[in-house]
Amino acid sequence: MLPDPAALIRTLAVSAIPLLFAITLHEAAHGWMARRFGDRTAEMLGRLSLNPVRHIDPVGTVVVPLVMLILGGFIFGWAKPVPINPRALRDPRRDMILIAAAGPVANIAMAITWVLLFRLLEPFVNAWGGAGVFLGSICAKGLFFNVLLAVFNLLPIPPLDGARMLRGLLPPALGQRLDSLEPYGLIIVVALLAIGVLDDILGPLFIAVQQFVLWASGIKGGTG
């Protein structure tokens, strides 16, 4: 059953800004970390920018998430990957782990920022009426999308960040086997989504990371 058009428009209105920021910061963080370790590829291609247009993949960032939203399923999508040249890194194995981790870490930091912003605005939400509710909803979506993006990317499935991090920890032979799965990574993710396995895997991890974000934001017990 398709969602009510008015409800869909409201959801898009509060989701667009935090989702674009979450994707943009995630990708830019990879490029920033790569530059720190000697690879300036992303910088030369203009991918260190916080301009979302530079990171948007028309299919992965727009079409797929919109279709998933309309169908009411798990919101899934991707941005244009930031190009990394391992040969330009000082210590490729170590540096690739940290470059891959930079994306999820950036999302967790942004999730904390959204919670802090909500706490700052909370006293004014009721006074501002509909505008206050709208801003509060944007902050809530900012928390949701950033935690989701961080957790999702920790999956050890190429080309997700979790696989990049695992690749740097594995012996070269096993790492090459992991790399060989990359052409099928999207198929694997979609299959796991279809059979509901990802919900079982990501659900507890999502809750744990969200509780950490709330705790780090000064909310006792991770609630409130």
- Which amino acid is present at 205? L
In 3D space, the residue among 29, 186, 219 whose CA is nearest the CA of residue 108 turns out to be 29
Extract the tokens encoding 132: 């206050």
Q: Strand runs (DSSP E) across 134-179, as ranges?
A: none
Start-to-end Cα distance in the chain: 33
The catalytic position among 27, 43, 122, 182 is 27
| C-alpha torsion 169→25→23→105, nearest 10 | 40
Token readout for 50 is 């916080």
Query: Known catalytic residue: 27?
Result: yes
- Preceding amide of 159 cis, omega within 30: yes
- ∠ Cα 112 116 119 (to 5°): 140
Q: Tokens representing 20?
A: 């674009």
In angstroms, rounded to a whole number, what is the distance separating the alpha carbons of residues 23 and 88? Answer: 25
Contact between 201 and 154 (Cβ < 8 Å): no
Q: How far is it, in rounded angstroms, from Cα 113 to Cα 220? A: 16
The catalytic residues are 27
